[in-house]
């Protein structure tokens, strides 16, 4: 038994040393692989004619207005200059946008503040170099309106 005591003590110390080493090592962090898309052109910040990565042309050659949009603009006191301002400066709300389907079937919900401080959401439907305004919504106020 006296001869086995140093061996047992050595084994116990080795187990303790391994346990301490395991507790002090940091777990290995596995990062997901990075995918680089080379075929998607990125618009330049100073290029006003650039199309965003999702396809909304912020400076189209022509803006058309649906009959519904014209009616809503009248009810909500929003003019064409404010629509152009939101198109150029507003933020796309992807949760309210409909981006499935063909290019001319997509609808972008763009939100922002007009020059008279109305918080609005405008639905734009781009097709080629033209954008159609589908509807105009005042987020901050409910306006009486009789648009069909």
pLDDT for 53 beyond 60? no
Within-domain flag for 37: no
In degrees, rounded to 5, the angle at the alpha carbon of residue 54 between the alpha carbons of residues 50 and 60 is: 40
- Tell me the average pLDDT of the chain: 80
**Where is 116: in which H helix or E strand?**
none
Within-domain flag for 5: no
- What is the rounded CA–CA span in Å between residue 132 and residue 63? 6
Q: Name the pTM for this structure.
A: 0.63
Per-residue pLDDT tens for 26-50? 555 555 555 554 444 444 444 443 3
Question: 64: which residues sit within 8 A by CB, 6+ positions away?
Answer: 130, 131, 132, 133
Q: What is the pLDDT of residue 26?
A: 58
Within-domain flag for 38: no
Within-domain flag for 86: yes
Which residue intervals of the chain are DSSP H helices? 4-24, 67-76, 80-89
């Amino acid at each position: 038994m006296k001869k086995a005591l140093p061996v047992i003590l050595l084994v116990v110390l080795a187990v303790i040393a391994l346990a301490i080493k395991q507790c002090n090592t940091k777990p290995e962090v596995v990062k997901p692989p990075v995918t680089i898309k080379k075929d998607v052109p990125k618009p330049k910040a100073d290029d006003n004619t650039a199309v965003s990565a999702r396809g909304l042309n912020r400076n189209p050659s022509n803006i058309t207005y649906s009959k519904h949009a014209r009616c809503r603009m009248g009810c909500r006191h929003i003019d064409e200059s404010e629509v152009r301002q939101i198109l150029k400066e507003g933020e796309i709300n992807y949760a309210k946008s409909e981006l499935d389907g063909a290019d001319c079937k997509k609808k972008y919900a763009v939100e922002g503040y007009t020059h008279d401080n109305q918080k609005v959401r405008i639905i734009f439907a781009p097709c080629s170099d033209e954008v159609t305004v589908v509807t105009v919504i005042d987020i901050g106020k409910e306006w009486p309106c009789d648009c069909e």
